[in-house]
Amino acid sequence: MIEREGIDRMSLPEHIYKMLEGVVGKEYISDRPHILAAYRHTSPQDGRKPASPDAVVLPGNTEEVQAVVKTCKLYDIQCNSVVSLLFAGMPPGPKLKIILSLRRMNRILEINEEDRYVVIEPGVRHVQLKPELMKRGLSYPVPSVGPSCSVMSNFLGKGEHHNQHSTSKNNRYLLGYEWVMPSGEILRAGSLGGDAGWFCPDGPGPSLVGLIQKGRGVFTKAAIGLDAWKGPAVMPSLGRTPSYKVRLPQDCHKVFIFKFGALEKARDFMIEMGRAEIGAAVLKFFYATAAVMFTVSANDFWALWDSGLFQKELSCAVWVYLATSSPEETAYEERVMWDIVRETGGEEVDPSIRKIWEDNMDFFIIVSFLQRVLKLGGGWAPVLHADSLRHTCEIARAFPEFLNEFIEKGQILNAPNNFQIIPIEYGHGAHVELLFFYDRTLPDSKNIPMELMKKSLETDLRHGHFSPAPHLGHLYGNFDHWAGKIREAF
């Protein structure tokens, strides 16, 4: 056992290290303490210290991944795969632990412009893929994670993003995929398994897509469906980070922000926009988060927040992004939108706020400044999905029941409406997400996120907004029973 900086880890036996070195090469495996330190950190909302890996391995292709997974199975080694290191580290326990870093597997394998799909490896990032597709008049919805994150990870998971109103969750775009299972066997799913190409994630019989959410094994290739891109081939950018501007052509791209006197009115506006099937993005966004995103320091944030502008204008506001193929289509959507605004009692927000988003239209394309969001310390609770916008708003109305306690104690920022609601597929579903900021200078600050999330879960259970799997399994084919069998098998 080796102890450094309060972190306990075992040393990987030399014969296992040599086996893995023989698979990936000497330069792509390491157990040096300063390397391992970069692979043991968690989300800012998690105060726990993750266990340290005993080695980091960087495979270069599917065959190397398979060999590493088989070695881990042979010696009962825990293996976690990562790409962008948003969350890294290992679960506690006595087993040897390896991080499988997939950053070398960063190739765009195929762009099919006719059938509109792209085949990628797990290390391909949004900043790499999105510009390449835009040159070809193609696109895909980028989740709100920042440009450096893995494309494949976001499509294997749910992949929440700002444009779900006119599209859907990212996992609905997933086509064929290649998966190294925990056993070390390679599964090529859907049409790919029958050598019929990448166009479908499923074949005859039960779908395997649900297994993806469990995060077991390693996914080495995947195809995702593509949409048409209605903007220029190259994003127009002026200035440098953090003060750059991205403004798309105003004849086909417009941003509006409307404030409403009550959440019900904002809800009705979003419902009617979906019924009319207009707008690329329609969402109620976080107002405190917006203040953090568009300020470059803590001092700048507090100056803006203390002014009260965002609290007054954005606590119950809806963002609208129109992206069309022609000026005539823009004029039509804008005319219908204004009719809905008048019917639901909306008002335009302060022009200075709208200008922020007009100057940063990349917010709706690829959020390049998301890393600013948690610089003051923060977390999410809850992140839930509902069958309808009405149900989502019912969930949001219950937030004060657990938030006020923390606000009154001065543990979190006084921003009770700092949640976003995003309609999905023109309002046929919806997503709600609460983001809170806590005071990291407090002695017990590391406990605040976990306590708040606990209270959030208790509130959701009390109102029936969330139920544990055993309570719902009988309604959905006893999925919890089958999930247990899968865990036993692997």
Tokens 């104690």 found at: 409
pLDDT digits (tens, 9 = 90+) for 180-204: 998 899 999 888 888 889 998 887 7
Length of the chain: 490
- Look at residue 277 in the predicted model and tell me its pLDDT: 97
Quickly list DSSP for 139-208.
Answer: E-PPPTT-TTSBHHHHHHS----TTTTTS--GGGGEEEEEEE-TTS-EEE-GGGGGTS-SS-S--SSS--
- Helices 263-276 + 327-344 axis angle, to 10: 150
Q: Which CATH architecture has domain 108-228?
A: 2-Layer Sandwich (3.30)
Q: In angstroms, what CA-CA distances link 229 with 65, 139, 233, 329, 336?
A: 34, 5, 9, 15, 23
| Domain boundaries, given as residue ranges, for the chain | 2-101, 108-228, 253-463
Q: Fill in the amino acid letter for 295.
A: T
pLDDT the model gives residue 334: 98
Write out the two tokens for 463: 């109102």
Among 8-17, 18-27, 208-217, 266-275, which stretch is predicted with the lowest mean pLDDT? 208-217
CA pair distance 193, 198, nearest whole angstrom: 9
> What pLDDT is recorded for position 84?
77
Residue 59, H or E segment: none
pLDDT at 470 over 80: no
- Tell whether the model's pLDDT for residue 410 goes beyond 50: yes
CB 314 within 8 A of CB 259: yes
Alpha helices in 25-147 (DSSP H): 33-37, 62-74, 126-134
Give the best-scoring range by mean pLDDT among 40-49, 329-338, 450-459.
Answer: 329-338
Q: What is the pLDDT of residue 147?
A: 82
Give the mean pLDDT of the chain: 87
Dihedral pair phi/psi, residue 282, rounded to 5°: -140, 120
Query: Which helix (H) or strand (E) is 392 found in, with range?
Result: helix 389-397
The pLDDT tens digits for 112-134 are: 999 999 999 999 999 999 999 99
Residue 484 has pLDDT above 80, yes or no: no
Query: Is the pLDDT confidence value at 7 over 60?
Result: no
For the beta sheet containing 174-180, the strands, ordered from the edge strand earlier in sequence to the opposite edge, are: 108-112, 117-120, 218-225, 174-180, 186-188
Could you tell me if 166 and 154 are in contact, meaning their C-beta atoms sit under 8 angstroms apart?
Answer: no
Instruction: Name which of 117, 101, 109 is nearest 38 in CA terms.
Output: 101
Residues linked to residue 431 through DSSP beta bridges, in sequence order: 385, 422
pLDDT of 121 reads 97
Kindly state the average pLDDT of the residues 423-447: 87
Question: What is residue 1's predicted lDDT score, i.e. its pLDDT?
Answer: 40
pLDDT digit string (tens) for 70-100?
A: 999 999 999 888 887 666 566 667 789 999 9
Distance CA 382, CA 40 (A): 25
Q: Which residues contact 488 (CB under 8 A, 6 or more apart)?
A: none
Q: What is the mean pLDDT of residues 45-63?
A: 85
User: Token pair of 385, please?
Assistant: 């999905």
CATH superfamily of 253-463: FAD-linked oxidases, C-terminal domain (3.40.462.10)
Confidence of residue 371 (pLDDT cuts 50, 70, 90): low
Closest CA to 315 of 414, 194, 232, 387: 414
Number of H helices, E strands in the chain: 17, 20
Angle, alpha carbons 16-20-22 (nearest 5°): 115
β-pairing, 55-57 with 29-30? antiparallel
Mean pLDDT across 96-113: 95
Q: pLDDT at residue 213 above 90?
A: no
**CA torsion angle for 164, 471, 475, 392 (degrees, to 10)?**
-30
Residues 159/268, Cβ–Cβ less than 8 Å: no
Strand partners for 30: 56
Phi-psi region of 426 (alpha: psi -120 to 50; beta: other; left: phi over 0): left
pLDDT at position 6 over 60: no
Q: Are strands 78-82 and 97-101 parallel, antiparallel or unpaired?
A: parallel
pLDDT value, residue 368 = 63
Determine the topology of domain 2-101 in CATH: 3.30.43
Terminal Cα distance for the chain, rounded: 28
108-228 and 253-463: same fold? Answer: no
- pLDDT, residue 146, reads 77
Average pLDDT of span 258-270? 97
